[in-house]
Amino acid sequence: MMDDKDEVLDLRAPAIGGQEAVEMFSISIQGGDANLHASCSDENFDLRLLEIKKLQYMDRLIRKFRLLLLAWLHRSRSGPKSFVRRFSFKDIKRATDSFQRIFYRNSHATAYQARFGDGELVLVKEVQAFNQDKDVFYREVQLLGRLHHRHLLALRGFTTGRKRLLVFNNIENGSLKEHLNDPLKTPLNWKTRLQIALGVAAALEYLLLFSNPPIYHVSITSSSIMLDENFTAKLSDVGILSSVGSYVTNPHNSCSEDCKSQEYSNIIFQLGVLILELVTGQSSDEGDSDIVEWIQESCFRSSIDKMIDPDLGDNYDSRELKKLLVVARLCIKTKDKPTFSVPQILRYIQKKVDFPCNK
């Protein structure tokens, strides 16, 4: 088993623009997080060109070593294996007060808040696609049960019968939407909001690059992002039944080879809208048209102060704020044809790379 030290994979690239320089690009892996590093032997080398080249090599490197990373992640998992429990319909019905405690509802699922006899609060999701074969549902349960990431809501169990239900862990602090919109909730500080954006982007990278098969169908809204006791963001609406079947039968779908697909474009767009919600404190579950039109119509540099959630006051980092707004603007402007990938966006927010163009 690999220890906690970085696993470094090096790739030497030719000089850029005819300059006599040697670049070194490497991926370091620690705790399941893959990071891209770049260095140059020539002190006079144009670092801006190096940043651009880093973006160009990033996805190529990740694609090249994806299988190796998957194998390492599988070997490096420690602790007991996770088992998905089959609950009785009666227990679920009792825990949800006969399905009266609706947490959120969208076009494909209804989520309920539930409390079991031991006092643990969980999320129960009812999948609406009743016309699917039961075997497909079980394959989805198996797929969700294999997902392990700190920013994904863990599948605890399921039940079938009158309703097909999935049971997930950890919703101690409710949804992100509650904390952005409910005046009775303590407002989220800037550091927490930034960590939520980073966490969601990291979860998306895991689903798209390190899940086998890759998972493209993700709902990224403030109502479907749960917060645990430490306010760690957890995606709760992943791999729904109506779309997972195609990925099970064709496990070699590659997000990086199909970035123009509707699913991938929608993920990028949703991520941009979520970032706007974190900055402005506003949210909408029906396409977020109001908040999107606002950012598109506003003068980006002159109206930043007017866009910030009043609950933040002056307690935020202006440079981090501008970085997030750059990401949001690019995600929304390029809805039909994404300019940047999820890994690039994640590392930009992490301050590990710069975008070559912030227009």
CATH number, position 201: 1.10.510.10
* pLDDT score recorded for residue 179: 92
The total number of structural domains in the chain stands at: 3
- Decide if 175 is inside a domain: no
- Asked whether 110 and 127 are in contact (CB, 8 A), the reply is no
Provide the 10 A C-beta neighbour count for residue 121: 14
Residue 43 included in any domain: yes
Are 24 and 91 in a shared domain? no
Residue 158 falls within a domain, yes or no? yes
Domain identity same for 328 and 193? yes
Look at residue 282 in the predicted model and tell me its pLDDT: 81
Instruction: Name which residue leads in pLDDT, 344 or 83.
Output: 344
Question: What's the token pair of residue 91?
Answer: 């227990």
Q: How far is CA 275 from CA 33, 157, 243, 289, 323, in A?
A: 22, 31, 26, 14, 11
Residue 207, domain member (yes or no):
yes
Please indicate, yes or no, whether residues 127 and 229 belong to a single structural domain of this protein.
no
Q: Average of pLDDT values for 279-307? A: 63
| β pairing state of 233-235 and 225-227 | antiparallel
Q: Are 6 and 35 in contact (CB under 8 A)?
A: no
Which of 76, 96, 130 is the last residue in one of the domains? Answer: 76
SS3 171: coil
Residue 244's pLDDT is what? 39
Cα(162)–Cα(89) distance, integer angstroms: 8
Residues 70 and 130 in one domain: no
Q: Are 155 and 208 part of one and the same domain? A: no
Structural domain containing residue 103: 85-168
| Boundary residue ending a domain (111, 139, 168) | 168
Length in residues, the chain? 359
Residue 152: predicted pLDDT: 95
* 238 and 332, same domain (yes or no): yes
Question: Do residues 344 and 288 share a domain?
Answer: yes
Residue 344 lies in a domain: yes
Answer with the residue of higher pLDDT: 132 or 331: 331
Whole-model pTM?
0.72
CATH number for 115: 3.30.200.20
Tell me if 359 is assigned to some domain.
no
Dump pLDDT digits (tens) for 150-179.
Answer: 999 999 999 887 888 999 986 788 899 999
Q: Which residues pair with 152 in a beta bridge?
A: 235
pLDDT of residue 80: 40
- CB proximity list for 320: less than 8 A, separation 6 or greater: 190, 194
Beta bridge partners of 8: 28
Residues 193, 327, single domain; the answer is yes
**d(C-alpha 312, C-alpha 328), whole Å:** 19
**Do 22 and 63 have their domain in common?**
yes
**Angle at CA 259, nearest 5°, toward 256 and 262?**
140
Segment 68-106, tens digit of pLDDT = 555 555 444 433 445 788 999 999 999 999 999 998 887
CA dist 281 and 294 (Å) reads 13
For residue 20, pLDDT over 60 is answered with: no
159 by DSSP, 3-state: which?
strand
Q: Are 282 and 221 in contact (CB under 8 A)?
A: no
The CA-based angle 38-255-216, given to 5 degrees, is 125
**Whether 62 and 126 share a structural domain:** no
Q: 123 by DSSP, 3-state: which?
A: strand
> Is 48 among the domain residues?
yes
Q: Which one of 56, 76, 96 terminates a domain?
A: 76
Convert the pLDDT of each residue in 224-279 to its tens digit.
Answer: 899 998 999 999 888 754 343 343 433 344 444 544 467 888 899 899 999 989 99
**Does one domain contain both 94 and 235?**
no
Do 156 and 190 belong together in one domain? no
Question: Is residue 356 assigned to a domain?
Answer: no
Give percent helix, percent strand, percent coil of the chain, each to the nearest 5: 40, 15, 45
Least confident span in 48-52, 74-78, 246-250, 354-358: 246-250
